[in-house]
Amino acid sequence: MKKYVAEAFGTFLLVFVGCGAAVFAGAAVGHLGVAFAFGLGLIMAAYIIGGISGCHINPAVTVGAWAAGRISKTQGIGYIIGQVTGAIIAAFAVLIIAQGQPDYTISMGLGQNGFGTGYNGGYNIISAKLGGGSEAVKMSGTSMSGPHVAGVMALMKQARPDLSALELKAMVLGTAKSISDKEDVNYPISQQGAGRVQVGKAVEAKVIASPATLSLGEQQIESRKMIRKKITLKNISSEEQVLTMNSATDERLTVSGPKTVTLAAG
């Protein structure tokens, strides 16, 4: 029993530290910071329970150890039960803490992959059903949006083989349509991302703005602060382009920059 409890505690530690970093500080520390958090959680678990259970803290590792004959089937099942239990408790702990944060909602977009309100703005994606292609199926979440976006990028590359992957991505994001609810209130970025892809407009885009998305990171809004971000504009058309800057922001945020920008033909 001591080994099973150790596996539960080790898995709790890994999930709580790693996922906690992603939820509470992901925007500030980025992927590298979250990776370090998971690594730190793993090292802590190894030092604490390594001498007790071997610190598997992963059902896949446990199955591998059983297949290699290092542990018995009964022991492996006990390990997996402990690991799943520890992970669930850690997830609930992160959820409880997150609910105390300002503006937190359960549908804020963390790991969304399902149906209904809060998933892709409450919208489903319609695609051809497996088989003859004469029927359609509605699904939602990353499992459905991923293949569609991959197809969009393939079309973009075929239409503009001279542009890089990042430039094509910027064209798709820059021409996406913002999604609103029935009261015409835009869904937050955490739910809709850049919006609904419009491949026709993306292919016809004349100017590329990069980076395609900007993040100001986590900021203390109690005091006034100025943040500078550089946006590069590239004219890929054969004509001169005159751009006018405008922004739709929260009342707590002010955006300033050139009123107009003239770009020579590309």
Last residue of a domain, one of 75, 98, 121: 98
Dihedral in degrees, nearest 10, Cα atoms 18, 21, 24, 29: -150
Residue 148 domain flag: no
Q: What is the pLDDT of residue 100?
A: 64
Q: What is the pLDDT of residue 129?
A: 76
CB 13 within 8 A of CB 39: no
Residue 232 domain flag: yes
Task: For residues 152 and 146, give the distance between their C-alpha atoms in angstroms, rounded to a whole number.
Answer: 10
Residue 153 domain flag: no
Domain hosting residue 28, numbered range: 2-98
Domain count for the chain, please give it: 2
Residue spans of the chain under pLDDT 70: 27, 100-125, 139-144
Q: What is the CA radius of gyration of the chain?
A: 24
Burial of 4 (0-12, 13-18, 19+ CB in 10 A): buried
Q: What is the pLDDT of residue 113?
A: 46
Closest Cα partner for 224 from 253, 264, 259, 183?
253
Q: What is the pLDDT of residue 139?
A: 66
Residue 55 domain flag: yes
Question: What are the tens digits of pLDDT across the range 199-253?
Answer: 999 999 999 999 888 877 777 777 788 888 888 999 999 999 999 988 877 777 8
Residue 115 domain flag: no
Last residue of a domain, one of 39, 70, 98: 98
Residue 206 domain flag: no
Q: What is the pLDDT of residue 189?
A: 76
Structure tokens at 46: 């190894």
Closest Cα partner for 109 from 118, 117, 101?
118
